[in-house]
Amino acid sequence: MLSSYLAILIFLIVALGFAVFTIVFSYLLGPRKPSEEKLMPYECGMDPIGSARRRFSIKFFVIAMLFIVFDIEVMFLYPWAIIFKELKLFGLIEMGVFIAILFIALAYVWKKGALEWE
């Protein structure tokens, strides 16, 4: 039974060996000429403005979390769309309930003012 896993073990060893080989040889052979400009943080081609430890408004994080939550919830629509014909009316009703809950959550967040950017 263990002989059936031999190919996977060989593949894993080759993959790890290639990764280690690439990292080690790029470190050994790569040029290292640090300068003040190369060690600066990179911000979209512009010189950094201010400190990297600057505090952001909590609204930024709230909107980011809401985006992630609603984005992940929308991803549940894809598997449903794939098997929509097999689920028939039951699947349609369940997805209607799911979308209604999402809509209620969005209305609640909107009413609380979490989407307002000041």
Query: Residues 39-89: pLDDT tens digits?
Result: 777 667 676 677 767 787 888 888 888 899 888 888 888 888 899 889 899
In a domain, 117, yes or no: no
Which has more pLDDT, 98 or 18?
18
pLDDT of residue 31: 85
For residue 68, give its domain range.
2-112
CA distance 19 to 13: 10
CA angle 49, 55, 61 (to 5 degrees): 115
Please state the domain count of the chain. 1
In a domain, 54, yes or no: yes
How many residues in total does the chain contain?
Answer: 118
pLDDT of residue 58: 84
Of the candidates 63, 67, 69, 55, the one whose C-alpha atom is nearest the C-alpha of residue 117 is 63
Per-residue pLDDT tens for 3-43?
889 999 999 999 999 999 999 999 999 888 888 877 777 66
In a domain, 94, yes or no: yes
In a domain, 90, yes or no: yes
CA angle 21, 27, 31 (to 5 degrees): 135
pLDDT of residue 10: 95
CATH number, domain of 41, equals 1.20.58
In a domain, 118, yes or no: no
Of the candidates 80, 114, 75, the one whose C-alpha atom is nearest the C-alpha of residue 96 is 80
pLDDT of residue 43: 63
The answer on pLDDT for 106 being more than 80 is: yes
How does DSSP classify residue 56?
A: P
In a domain, 15, yes or no: yes
The answer on pLDDT for 104 being more than 90 is: yes
CA distance 102 to 111: 14
In a domain, 101, yes or no: yes
